[in-house]
Chains A and B, each alone.
Chain A
């Protein structure tokens, strides 16, 4: 449609055409001229037709249309962002005066919210399950999102959180709830203070004074201005406002220790009155009449509970009493067939967030029947036979529910053997998982792989259920699939990693079906997590395997590729690559092969780089590798000793390093010292013998803090070996001096 004149009537017509209608939105969004006109209306309505006094109406209608377009496709959003719609709104809001009509304020706040949340949905990370990996317009959205959380921009719209009209303040709370998804954005909002208070703080403080923690408005204290304001919004009577505030607090507290810890404690307000903490308010709202409020409250409580226990320096177990409240509500929703699909999906995910990676909580959930309820749920929505017709027509919401339930099951299964056994033996979920692996919806396949991965942690389970039922082999097919979504491949790969270890009955079948070829392919992937896990799988493969297998694996991968991985930018990848070489070089022939294939000079260069790495794990594996390589023939020992920097690197590993590394280094020295006398001069030149002497003579403990028995044992071993090596160096290996 071409719009000739722009006035309230024509805009209303457009509005009524686009709301709810995705194809109309796409069509309109392509009309760049019209979109630009709309954006102009926001701030300069006097350019357009209409009686005086209808200016605000035009602005409101334009805002409504833009909001509606944001609910459309990513292309529609991109077109809005390119027309700088978000900036136009921000400009307008910055010029609001106190007499601004409510209709205008709330329409603009809502539009800001829809733009921000649509952008966040596009950029990710997803808040509920796996989303489509669409990339159209993502860059524009990312820029816009970062812009939204700059201090100068927060200055414009955050104050609306205390606007007297609830629709306006609610929209801003909803904005935060939907758009706050990364740590730096969270930090920006948590630390934000109103400009007036900011200058007060700076003026009042002399340099040596500590920031005043009791002054309200002081940045970061009591969770910051945003957290405090949102907490007070929780006390509103309006359930929609409560819901919005809860979701904003949830987004703010997630993975954010400082904010969550403050929200979990009660605060003392200005008048010295003790008021309830945000956490306790959220927990009481878990029993609200409104299902949506219950969900929002549970999510909020969950994020506060988990984040407040995750202090880097001393993590504590999460608050059990609070967790039980949330668990109870979620269990009820999961088990109730009358709740809507969306509600049950969210309940599964919230349970997931609550217990993930916490063994005790997973156990508690299991004891409270969560697994049984989830299994019942999944079985109730799955057809008995694999009917492919049905799958095509399955509504998105049902797919999401299945994904949610399977994800929660996987999280519970990772924790505990009894849970895994329950899944396979009692609940008979294996056929469901098999069907899910082939489901058209990406999220469902991903979740199914996670379940198999969890199951594969038990050798017993792997031996029986995964093999007998064919689930293991189905998973393997998913793993092999070339055009699979890479996230699903990743999940399948993690399961395969577990299944190729020494005692796994699936190791040989996988090997027979092109495992190594597929792994080498993944080693060249552009995605770091695929490379890393492929390498991990290879490491598991060559650990204590036959020589023939070891050789064929390394040959399939290729020495050149292995070389590249030793120098990968990701230290995790480097560590695994060295581990593989270390395992490979366990006999004289293979040591020779390593030297031959890499070339001695190059090999030692790479080792030196690794020994000097900032990453402790890399250093450790490099030291072990060198230690093994030093066990080769005289020729190769000579090569090692001749390398200019290697001995220096070894020497620093003897002193300034964790005990494990020192042990590896001293073994290395012992190997090298063990044979010929002529090498000893080189060792002496590098200062190794004086270092060894120092180790032997040092009577105090070498480790900086109180050490565990394990470390003490290592220390003794290091000293003993150092003594032995020193003996060899000083007296030659043939004379053994006591």
Chain B
């Protein structure tokens, strides 16, 4: 070999060694060193020599290369999407000894908002949402505090910039945390947009346009979704924002119109009202589609009494920007057919989410998408119509759009890909909570679903209106604090669904979800002793049925 080739050869050896093991390789002890040496033996020397001589290396960014020789791929698994699911899957796979890379790229929103590693949940979803929800709840708590003896003088006001800054700083710390975790777990992280060239090749693009090609034995798609803009409303995209933008605003959104009645719309409207902003929710038909409608009505009733305005059965027609900078929205009342208009500082569209599949190039590979939703059709093992391509998380058709299910599904998929397990993800009995001002937690079937599956006569619904102790001194209205347990009418009376509105509904529901998972029955519930004084104990005390028609208000202690 000439001197040049020798130099390239040895550099390739080091780079190959380094990149497979990660920079912290030498921090490990002798055991790791031994593992490394074993890895060396499995590497094909002929492959390295060939690559050095031909000057090809997929490890050099910017060099376009389709490098798999002798049937070996660059990576065992490449995950496209660095969100809740993608990160969990890649870290688990790497821990099980696979060679993993994860690609994460955030296409800026229409307004130009972008964010770091972590996906929707960390950056523009659960985390900032819950923090802002907490900010709003604290506002209510301060008002209650006066009744409890706190000497708080004067009206209280909220500064958006302070809250947004604190929330955004926390999110950035999470971005960093995820980056460090990927490094520790030896996952190769690429801040690049991935698209599929064929079932084993991915083309990755940086923001600057530099290209890189990766080959993988298995490809996992976890790109999630993005908020939709309405297509038939002039001015919607130019003047409106979505949940991608609201959490990253530097200034207060001011008087806001939230269009939509999903949990995204209601949660956003909820905290905006809570921090003192004039907020209106425009609902086309019903609120919280897919959830139990009785509970949805309680949630929106509470929000209305809390100060959120609702424009029921209204559809926006167009959005115009006025010379003052404010937005004029013209809408139609579906019931009367009349047109109305009003001005707002911000219009927030929460009319659904679309799967991120366009940039992937799935059609030419034969990965089937659902015709209506555009999501990827997946099997029970997260497989797609192409053998070595998998998809899970929000992108999977029929899957819940939740972080915990994505994380769990990702980990199980990683174990299956590593050949360590055959366990499939169980998507049943998934609990969830809507973090509106009055929170709503549930697990299992809604009453409508239970009726349709089992028949109205074969179910028993135990329910209760309760008053949290904390509301008494604070003189707060508890009319919407309610719970119901839907059970089978006969036999052991297995619990089919559990629904609860109240403070800390998420905390309350989590524990009951475990009982649900274990197949709890109504008698199990009654056998459980309550913790006093809590609101959760009302669930184990519930005894009035809907069928009886009796007053379900809890009285006494």
A and B from one complex: no
Query: Which A residues fall within an 8 A CB radius of B?
Result: none
